[in-house]
Amino acid sequence: KALHAWRRLAVQGVQGFDEVYYQGTAPLAGAPELADVLVAWSVGAETRFYFDPRQGRLLALETYPVDGADPCEVDFGDYRDAAGQPRPHALEVRFGDQTFGHFSLDWKQP
Q: pLDDT, tens digit, for every residue of 34-91?
A: 999 999 998 889 999 999 999 999 999 999 987 778 899 999 999 999 888 899 999 9
Containing H/E element for 9?
helix 2-12
* Residue 28 scores a pLDDT above 90: yes
CA atoms 21, 24, 28, 32: torsion sign: positive
For residue 110, name the pLDDT band (cuts at 50, 70, 90).
Answer: low
- Cα 17 to Cα 7, 36, 43, 73, distances in angstroms: 11, 18, 8, 19
The verdict on pTM exceeding 0.85 is yes
